[in-house]
Amino acid sequence: MALHIGFVSTRFTGADGVTMEAGKWAEIFEESGHKCFWCAGEVHKDPSHAMVVSEAHFLHPENQRIQSEAFGRVMRSQELTQRIHDSRAVLKEKLADFLQTFDIHLLVVENALASPLHIPLGLALTELIAEKKIPTIAHHHEFYWEQSRSTVNCVQDFLFMAFPPVLPTIQHVVISSAAHEDLAHRRGVSSFVIPNVLDFDHPPQADPEKGDRLRRMIALDPEDKLIVQPTRIIRRKGIQYAIEIAAALKDLRYRLLITHHEAEGDPEYASWLQSQAREHGVSLHFMGTHVVDPWVEGESPSERITLWDIYPHADLITYPSLYEGFGNAFLEAIYFRKPLVVNRYATFVRDIEPLGFDLLIMDGYVSRRLISKIRDVLRSDEAKQKMVEHNYRLAQRHFSYEVLRRRLNFLLLDFFGMEV
């Protein structure tokens, strides 16, 4: 039986972790003959398999207004309650149309029932799932209690109802053991851990033409070397440490490239990073709007630069995050066989570090010892090759598509008595 699987979120575009993981799941489903359909406020997928609902985007003006009044205060007006319900009703109707138009058998909700970036969307999904009893995988990447902005709010009743909801037809999936325990402790909800993955059985292939274009775009001289920080520009990514590392290596002509645009994160933080780079004499480049999701559809791959076009040309990857739900950039650096500097964020310490990867470890600050080890690895092709090959084999065992396929099989067996 070929299933029609409907993915729902606030957006499926760009190169954020939610969009990219959804693309990987869809790839696994479609390899088994299922059809995937998409519903969000912005969708870069095959238009014939997608429904764009502008009101579902977290940047929609009405949602932005709701967000500004829902968080940072403890008193809620009757007007705000009514606006939330009005928006919920509109979204519920359009989501029902999505289910009917594409004859959806299984719903996969990507983070929209975990992070309250769009409260009406979460409420609409919760009501629809409860009423239609549709089998649903709620794929949670980051819960509201992990976000400092959600600490003070006047919508606790809505958060408890829909982020996430507790319903018999929902299977909850989290990306780390810590999230699994938190969900059980806070909501009494069992969940299934599926880590982020990559297709380690099929190594990536570099596109020389796009590589040349990338080097021209950032004016990279032949003798220059590249440090890549493959993240959004937000404070918890600890990008200032990447600048410190680049400054320590600048005598070796290392330049720093940040893959995402400053407009996606915190403009004040982005401006501060630029001043820090100037102060330390670091050549810093924001790639930003040129980067798209490697799983984007309906757009010629030759037209845009993706993360997959950047990684092959990196000499070093920096990932000094203070907090991550899992850490896509960690896997991507391993996948492209690149040396990786990684800070010991909590999920890394608990779920990844015990597996035995050979990494350039940072423990909260950039030490002389770390810089010395980075230099040793970068100067020795033999040491670098030994490191990246060991990491690739280990990731293939623990974070491959085959791991994802086995765990999705478990969920589909539970719902439909069938495997992927």
User: Regarding beta strands 254-258 and 284-286, do their DSSP bridges make them parallel or antiparallel, or are they unpaired?
Assistant: parallel
CATH code for the domain defined by 4-197+401-416: 3.40.50.2000
Tell the CATH topology of 208-398: Rossmann fold (3.40.50)
The 10s digit of each residue's pLDDT in 178-233 is: 999 999 999 999 999 999 999 999 998 888 888 788 888 888 888 888 999 998 88
Widest CA span in the chain: 66
**pLDDT of 264 higher than 50:** no
**Least confident segment among 72-86, 247-261, 389-403:** 247-261
The 10s digit of each residue's pLDDT in 236-263 is: 899 999 999 999 997 778 899 998 765 4
pLDDT at 296: 65
Structure-block tokens of residue 181: 């325990």
Structure-block tokens of residue 63: 């949602």
Task: Give the span between the Cα atoms of 8 and 310, in whole angstroms.
Answer: 28
198 closest CA partner among 295, 79, 132: 295
**Least confident segment among 7-16, 91-100, 299-308:** 299-308
Domain boundaries, the chain: 4-197+401-416, 208-398
The yes-or-no answer to whether 4-197+401-416 and 208-398 have a common fold is: yes
